[in-house]
Structure 1
């Protein structure tokens, strides 16, 4: 059911990391150019340097730690029994409420996995 999520570093993740890192490098270049020009204020240099640190940090975090939550959510989804999905659907007012109930009753379950569980159960029990 979760075959589309089996790759921890898919194309979207790589694109995000590359774009974020490129933005961080660009902000760092701007900070260095401002620093060397001598005409910029210290606040300008500090703001661009902070932007570079934040963007490069976000890229590094996503690259090295981004798959942890996905893997944890996948393990939680695999452990949820059909009766638990049925109970969430029975007590809900609709699709969105059922997915919310699944996520509340199983902390750490991601939105995509909760929705996949709902869809899988709904297809099997039509």
Structure 2
């Protein structure tokens, strides 16, 4: 199995540089939008409370610092999720799409079961997500189930 680095994949199939090329950033899912909205609202609420504490005559320095720190953390978490949230998923999907059937077959044959095959793939290809690795192994094994379809088979 070969080792791959992010620099090996700086140009996509269409020849343009970057993860998304000229198409711009990947669309954000409803879970990401909801998380960012709720977290940002919490951060804004903390800013409001910190401001009220600051103008209050009986305000303590500790209270103002605490609410300010909470506001900064919440707003930073929202910003991080908005700009960087999907990059790990994109990388994992890209690695999964580039893996050849031979590499998956090799991992499955050398393993003692599905869990070991998934572990081998993820060790050999850092950045490959658990969900994508499980789907690759199951697809190779002829089991048509996907990770989401786990509970639908009864059992």
* Distance in 2 (alpha carbons) for counterparts of 1:77 and 1:65: 20
User: What per-residue deviation string (whole Å, max 9, x for no partner) do you get for residues 45-99 of structure 1?
Assistant: 1121111111111111111222222222211111111222222223334333322
2:28 alignment partner, SS class: coil
Gaps of 5+ in 2: 1-25, 145-155
User: What per-residue deviation string (whole Å, max 9, x for no partner) do you get for residues 5-56 of structure 1?
Assistant: xx63111111111111111112212211212213232122112111111111
Q: TM-score, normalised by structure 2?
A: 0.67
With a CA cutoff of 8 Å and minimum separation of 6, indicate the structure with the bigger relative contact order: 1
RMSD: 2.1
- Alpha carbons of 1:34 and 1:68: their partners in 2 closer, same or farther (altered >3 Å)? same
Gaps of 5+ in 1: 1-6
Number of aligned residues: 119
Structure with the larger helix share: 1
- Alpha carbons of 1:114 and 1:31: their partners in 2 closer, same or farther (altered >3 Å)? same
Q: TM-score, normalised by structure 1?
A: 0.80
* Distance in 2 (alpha carbons) for counterparts of 1:90 and 1:40: 67
